[in-house]
């Protein structure tokens, strides 16, 4: 590989269509598309200040780098990325990508990030201001994850999450085949209109969780006192440890908890209206 180190570039497309290139201690100043249409790129201890540096790239590794706010929309239409030990201060990252692995990455401005991505692996990643994170994405595996930002994981498929702290209103809407283990899920209207959402040993908080779900499964989960009016029009099997403040009009299945503050079954319940609601 050709090595470029201890230098800087600016302007438009300074390294366009490069192949087999290693960058070390390089700064990409304001400009556009510094590494567009490249392949087999290694960037180590680099700083990216200009827009769109990695578009249409196949095969690249980014280690111990910084993307400043000016490097917005830095990684789009690319595949086979490994990013480690990196700070991403730029918004709207990772769009239309396949083969995305992030480890020890911080994204404090993650609004509208990770749209239409697939084959994703995240480990020890923190995101904030992450409204509309992971829209229309699939094949995602996440471990040791911290998130603040609303409307996340909408329309996602085939997602597995372990050891996460997710603070997100309207999380997991319209998802399919999502499993979450050993996590804290905080936010209003969790999981509405989902299919095959499976929560294992999770703590759930926020009003009206898990409504309009199809084939919802909860194992050994706990509910905060503010998680009221749960399960409206859902088909489910739920094993809940502790109390549930209120359950409203579940459609079918089985719910087991230690106690219920209120069970609301009224004229608006949908057929077959045969959900068992049991006390352990």
Q: Closest by alpha carbon to 144, among 184, 176, 115?
A: 184
pLDDT, tens digit (0-9, with 9 covering 90-100), for 189-214: 999 999 999 999 999 999 999 999 99
Neighbour tally for 45: CB within 10 Å: 15
Strands 66-67 and 47-48: parallel
Q: What span, in angstroms and rounded, lies between the C-alpha atoms of 198 and 32?
A: 43
User: Which residues are bridge partners to 39 per DSSP?
Assistant: 19, 58
pLDDT, tens digit (0-9, with 9 covering 90-100), for 24-44: 999 999 988 999 999 999 999
Evaluate whether 110 touches 91 at the Cβ level (below 8 Å).
yes
Q: Predicted confidence band at 1 (pLDDT cuts at 50, 70, 90)? A: confident
The pLDDT value given to residue 250: 98
Q: What span, in angstroms and rounded, lies between the C-alpha atoms of 233 and 212?
A: 5
- For 48, 121, 239, the CA distances from 275, given in Å and listed in that order, are 55, 37, 13
Task: Output the six-digit token pair for 272.
Answer: 């077959």
3-state helix/strand/coil string of 218-272 = EEEEEECCCCCCECCCCEEEEEECCEEEEEECCCEEEEEECEEEEEECCCCCCCC
Q: What span, in angstroms and rounded, lies between the C-alpha atoms of 183 and 181?
A: 6
Percent pLDDT > 90 in the chain is: 96
Evaluate whether 68 touches 89 at the Cβ level (below 8 Å).
yes
Q: What span, in angstroms and rounded, lies between the C-alpha atoms of 234 and 248?
A: 10
Q: Cis peptide before 272, with omega less than 30 degrees from 0?
A: yes
CB hemisphere CA count around 216 (13 angstroms)? 34
Q: What span, in angstroms and rounded, lies between the C-alpha atoms of 207 and 216?
A: 17
Percent pLDDT > 70 in the chain is: 100
**What is this structure's pTM?**
0.95
- Biggest distance spanned by C-alpha atoms of the chain: 72
SS3 call for 94: coil
The pLDDT value given to residue 163: 98
Which residues, in sequence order, are CB contacts of 267 under 8 Å at separation 6+? none
């Amino acid at each position: 590989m050709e090595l470029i180190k201890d230098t800087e570039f600016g302007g438009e497309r300074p390294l366009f269509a490069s192949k087999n290139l290693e960058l070390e201690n390089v700064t990409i100043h304001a400009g556009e598309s510094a590494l567009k249409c490249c392949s087999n790129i290694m960037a180590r201890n680099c700083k990216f200040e200009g827009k769109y540096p990695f578009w249409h790239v196949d095969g690249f590794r980014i280690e111990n780098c910084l993307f400043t706010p000016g490097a917005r929309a830095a990684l789009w239409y690319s595949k086979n990325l490994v990013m480690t030990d990196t700070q991403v201060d730029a918004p709207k990252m990772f769009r239309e990508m396949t083969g995305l692995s992030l480890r020890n990455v911080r994204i404090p401005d993650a609004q509208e990030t990770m749209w239409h991505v697939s084959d994703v692996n995240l480990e020890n990643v923190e995101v904030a201001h992450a409204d509309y994170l992971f829209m229309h994405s699939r094949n995602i595996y996440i471990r040791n994850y911290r998130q603040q930002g609303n409307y996340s994981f909408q329309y996602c498929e085939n997602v597995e999450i372990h050891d996460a702290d997710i603070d997100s209103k309207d999380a997991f809407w319209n998802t399919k085949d999502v499993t979450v283990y050993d996590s804290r899920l905080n936010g209003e209207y969790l999981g509405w209109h989902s299919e095959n959402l499976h929560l294992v040993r999770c703590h759930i908080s926020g009003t009206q969780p898990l409504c309009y779900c199809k084939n919802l499964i909860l194992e050994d989960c706990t509910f905060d006192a503010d998680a009221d009016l749960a399960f409206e029009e859902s088909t489910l099997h739920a094993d809940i440890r502790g109390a549930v403040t209120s359950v409203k009009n579940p459609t079918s299945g089985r719910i087991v908890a230690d106690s219920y503050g209120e069970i609301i079954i009224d004229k608006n319940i949908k057929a077959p209206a045969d959900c068992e609601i049991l006390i352990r």
